[in-house]
Amino acid sequence: MEIREYRTYDEQEMLSLYTSVGWTAYTDAPDTLRQGFEHSLLTLAAYENGQLVGLIRTVGDGYTIVFVQDILVFPEHQRKGIGAALLQAVLDRFSYVRQMELATDDTPKTIAFYKSLGFSPMPEIGCCGFMRLLPT
């Protein structure tokens, strides 16, 4: 597997990836998704034999905070260490940043995954999180 910066946005490739994991809030607004990519801090992609298999996208200032906005792996490539490798590449790239955040589904599987990479649920470190979503 090769991980490299994702620099040239390919709409069909991204819509396919986001659709494969059921993230329709993104695929229903492809122009917004493209804009999100254009304004991201860093986007890395994982490739196997030249084929996209996963992606991680970050936002933030890159010095005091980095927020992992998206981490996706095509379902047929999940549970092979691709997501962990992508997240580790971000952690390595921003090793000097004190605050690395993300929001994810509250399931045992995702909690175990992020804990295995050194993340803690906010209440465990004396914090709480807030989110405001626009109605769909």
* Number of domain units in the chain: 1
**Whether pLDDT at 108 is above 80:** yes
CATH number for the domain that contains residue 23: 3.40.630.30
Q: What angle do CA 136, 33, 46 make, to 5 degrees?
A: 130
**pTM of the predicted protein model:** 0.93
Q: Coil, helix or strand for 17? A: helix
Instruction: Answer yes or no: is 122 within a domain.
Output: no
The rounded distance, in Å, linking the Cα atoms of 13 and 52 is 8
Cα angle 13, 16, 20 (rounded to 5 degrees) comes to: 145
| Contact call for residues 123 and 88 (beta carbons, < 8 A) | no
pLDDT one-digit tens code per residue, 58-98: 999 999 999 999 999 999 999 999 999 999 999 999 999 99
Position 123 in a domain? no
